[in-house]
Structure 1
Amino acid sequence: MVFPAHARLLPQLALFGLTLALTLGGILARPIESLSLFWPVNAVLAGVLLRYPRLATPLGFAGVWLAMVGADLACGSHWQPALWFNLCNLGVIVTVWLLLSRLPRAHRRMRTPHGLLCVFGACAAGAVVAASMACVMAAPWFQQSMRATWLAWFSEQFSTSVLILPALLTAPTRGALLRGGGEAIRLAPLLVLLVSLTVSIAFGGPGAITFPIAALLWCAWAYSPFLVSLLALTAGSTLIVAVAQNLMHFSVPQSVLGVSTLMSARLGIAMLVLGPLLVACVTHANRGLLTRLERQATLDHLTGALTRSAFSRRATALLDSRQAHAQAMPLTLMMLDIDHFKSINDRHGHGVGDQVLRAFARAVQEHLQEGELFARLGGEEFVVIIPGLAPERAKFTAERLRRAVQELHVTHADPRLQITVSIGLDGCAADASAPSLDVLLARADKALYRAKAQGRNRVEQAEQQRQVV
């Protein structure tokens, strides 16, 4: 598909404006004549480019760099450091994008533990590239040794990327939010995390940065990976600021290797969030697997109707619940069998047969309401239980289902193909004790056999119900 020129240019202009705003905010927030304490620009832009691959073009990367340089110049920076420093920043973005854009979408969106480890590795690689470029190109503007410069760039870029990038990659799409309706939040893990952060800052000392780990692990078990990523970002950035402002009373001097207290804390905090994020990914993946397994065990894969075993459990529970109430409600059970289904398979093929089954199931389900059970017993045989429907009125409902099936038109099938259904029904009147599920099925099956014997495409009631009516 060819897009108009303005449609291709607008996203690039939006990316340019986002970069400009982020860079200006980062510059204004950093200490005077010092590297930024927390520079989110690179991680945010890498996440945006991974979420919106159409922006990751040579023009897009060039626009990002020019926006960064323009923001630096607008804030009074000299043109040479503005060019070189932002080339280092661009190195982080390009490296992370190159390493993660080739991954499968599930890994890139951190839906698997492997994907999370890849994201951490990409953040480390991007930080290595930026730190190495800074030592080579930006050394004239640093007062520290090359080793200290490398460690400062690496620790800041790595910790910031690890804290920000997971939140961007796991963020749900707008469509997912509309379909899902949001996530129920359990307050207890969140409150414990806030308390542990408060205690960590109040207690102080190097070991205090590990205090929130237990609360983060609880959050990882209770919340989605996206919410855990946001909480890890909040906790990590809070601890980094607390260390930088000496609120946690760190007294470790800079080592001979050039590792300062802030560098060590940044790297420790970045590694601290790895565990909770990994637990969140594993928990989310396991829950998704259990949901799929439960769906496969409950719903027929072809028609979406209940499986025989799931129907048996729910129908038995429904009958038991009915018996437990003094004022028992009426109930109707219908057996439905598609007429001449074997000849449909033989004449038109199993593909058309599958289409017939799906169309039939949709037609029946459209006429059922919540709480009414619909199941596939096997082959072309289905069953419906309608609580609250009196047996004396069941034939009218069954006739409505029969007509709905007769009016079906199966897509891509032979236009001469017409589907009909035979229905046998049984039930229990109000306040009458219900027989077992097996007895109801047997009676309805006999009525179904009679409907088949009398010409098909008809509804027959069980003998007991015929006598009552």
Structure 2
Amino acid sequence: MSVEPMVVPAHLRFLSPLALFGLSLALSLAGILARPIESLSLFWPVNAVLAGVLLRYPRLASPVGLSLVWVAMVAADLVCGSAWGPALWFNLCNLAVIVTVWWLLSRPPRAHRRMRTPHGVLSVFGACAAGAVMAASLACVMATPWFEQSLRATWLAWFSEQFSTGVLVLPILLTAPSARALLRSGAKPIRLAPLLLLLASLGLSIAFGGPGAIAFPIAALLWCAWTYSPFMVSLLTLTAGSTLIVAVAQNLMHFSVPQSEPGVTTLMSARLGIAMLVLGPLVVACVSQANRSLLARLAHQATIDHLTGLLSRSAFSHRANTLLDSRQQHSQWLPLTLMMLDIDHFKSINDSHGHAVGDQALRLVARTLQDQLNADALLARLGGEEFVVVLPGLAPQQAIFTAERLRRAVQDLQLAQGNARLQVTVSIGLAGCTPEQPAPTLDELLARADQALYRAKAQGRNRVEQEQVQRQVI
């Protein structure tokens, strides 16, 4: 089955297996130096981070790249004083986590892999659980020479740490936006209330203590999930989860569980509980983002004409009426002109060359009109081959020069049709008001411009005509 690769940003294409080796070495050294003496790491994010990197940049997931990852982790252990045996074997366990998570998550569609669907969130949790099972099982094979714990305790220790760290760290790598997307979105204000509530709930969890206290932040996390992007929620779940794990490990929460099962410790129970705690907020964040995207698409479809990319008729009516209302409320009325444009002999284009060529002509004319108009002009497709333009600040006497420029720009177009060139022209009708005149309604302007357009067509097409009232004033 083919795997859909993720797009690699151009400014990150210098990443190479050597860079992957350096990243693995740095992360491993940081994780080793941060762990308690003679103990497994309290928090080992190396595996989750490297799995996320391979998923975002799959060209690095080669046998050479994976070998360099393992060599880097072994080198980090040896530099920090580990023996050869544990360094080789237990880093093979770490590599098993990376390979398992990468292999399982590289198969689903990109939307699932980027946690844009609830199924994708569950897939990430399942992959992290599978990777943790693989690592824990391999660790138990060689546990007897190096650990005093039972096989059950060793398995639970590895599984709980790998699973909890994976579900806290991996979503950040998978949902992180590209630098280009960040620049395109720009700086946006952030609502602080959900974030402050989360911080307060974490403080309350530590102050109150007890096993049930790890659930205190759930309401705040759900509010964050409904408010922020999945990437932001992933960062917050990592912050909340790691804070609770450290608090439990340092006995700040007086967390205890009945030792009904041999080898089950307080920290193992807390890790698994916290890992499952973040599942709900991540699913809610995914659903919330999907709803926002759907609403944005629906708003776009209601606002933008799908064929030309111009404003739709309904969106134009709303904006034009708003413009006319604001003109009426202004202390000094401003001039305004409305143009109706119609592609000449458009029906014959469709009949002679087909609707595909007709659609191409519509798109070409729309793009030409956009290029010729200023940003403050309203340009829309009313339907069929009809377009409308509103020019605020220009009276019809001045706007006629703009209309002529539009007419000539369209006339200069030549639509390729096989070996022939198809010329496209437009007829334009103008209506408007001067600063001394109160603004008519939009329907009145459209009717007057339509009459001028009718005369332009009756007098030979490919021409501009003003409304008769304005011509009499002149």
Q: Shorter-chain TM-score: which interval?
A: over 0.9
- More off after superposition, 182-191 vs 149-158: 182-191
Corresponding residue of 1:4: none
- Map 1:327-406 to 2 at 5 A: 327-406=332-411
- Map 1:125-274 to 2 at 5 A: 125-252=130-257, 254-274=259-279
Structure 2 CA distance for aligned equivalents of residues 22 and 62 of structure 1:
16
Question: Which letter does structure 1 place at the counterpart of 2:94?
Answer: N
Kept after mapping to 1: 8 A contact 2:414/2:421: no
Corresponding residue of 1:419: 424
Secondary structure in 2 matching 1:416: strand
Give the CA deviation at 1:162.
0.2
Question: Which letter does structure 2 place at the counterpart of 1:29?
Answer: A
Give the direction of change, closer, same or farther, for the CA distance of 1:423–1:356 in structure 2 (3 Å limit).
Answer: same
Kept after mapping to 1: 8 A contact 2:143/2:154: no
Secondary structure in 1 matching 2:423: coil
Kept after mapping to 1: 8 A contact 2:105/2:127: yes
Question: Which letter does structure 2 place at the counterpart of 1:163?
Answer: L
Cα RMSD (Å) of the superposition?
1.7
TM-score (norm 1): 0.95
Question: Which letter does structure 1 place at the counterpart of 2:276?
Answer: M
Corresponding residue of 2:289: 284
Structure 2 CA distance for aligned equivalents of residues 406 and 203 of structure 1:
77
Candidates 430, 439, 444, aligned match of 1:434: 439
Kept after mapping to 2: 8 A contact 1:85/1:138: no
Q: What per-residue deviation string (whole Å, max 9, x for no partner) do you get for residues 378-432 of structure 1?
A: 1111111111111221211111111121222446765522221110010011142
Structure 1 CA distance for aligned equivalents of residues 113 and 357 of structure 2:
38
Corresponding residue of 1:105: 110
Corresponding residue of 1:459: 464
Give the CA deviation at 1:131.
0.9
Kept after mapping to 1: 8 A contact 2:416/2:422: no
Is it true that 1:116 corresponds to 2:121 in the alignment? Answer: yes
Corresponding residue of 2:69: 64
Kept after mapping to 2: 8 A contact 1:220/1:228: yes
Secondary structure in 2 matching 1:432: coil
Corresponding residue of 2:79: 74
Question: Which letter does structure 1 place at the counterpart of 2:233?
Answer: V
- Amino-acid identity (%): 77
Give the direction of change, closer, same or farther, for the CA distance of 1:449–1:139 in structure 2 (3 Å limit).
Answer: farther
Structure 1 CA distance for aligned equivalents of residues 288 and 418 of structure 2:
44
Unaligned runs of 5+ in 1: 1-6
Is it true that 1:27 corresponds to 2:32 in the alignment? Answer: yes
Question: Which letter does structure 1 place at the counterpart of 2:31?
Answer: G
Question: Which letter does structure 2 place at the counterpart of 1:460?
Answer: E
Give the CA deviation at 1:434.
2.2
- More off after superposition, 139-148 vs 167-176: 139-148
Question: Which letter does structure 2 place at the counterpart of 1:399?
Answer: E
Q: What per-residue deviation string (whole Å, max 9, x for no partner) do you get for residues 337-363 of structure 1?
A: 111222222333222222211111111
Aligned residues: 463
TM-score (norm 2): 0.94
Corresponding residue of 2:451: 446
Give the CA deviation at 1:322.
2.1
- Moved beyond 6 Å, runs of 4+: 7-10
Corresponding residue of 2:3: none
Structure 2 CA distance for aligned equivalents of residues 111 and 371 of structure 1:
36
Secondary structure in 2 matching 1:306: coil
Is it true that 1:41 corresponds to 2:35 in the alignment? Answer: no
Give the CA deviation at 1:376.
0.8
Q: What per-residue deviation string (whole Å, max 9, x for no partner) do you get for residues 237-276 of structure 1?
A: 1110111011112243544332111111111111111111
Q: What per-residue deviation string (whole Å, max 9, x for no partner) do you get for residues 3-45 of structure 1?
A: xxxx999601111111111111111110111000000000000
Secondary structure in 2 matching 1:34: coil
Kept after mapping to 1: 8 A contact 2:143/2:151: no
Question: Which letter does structure 2 place at the counterpart of 1:43?
Answer: A
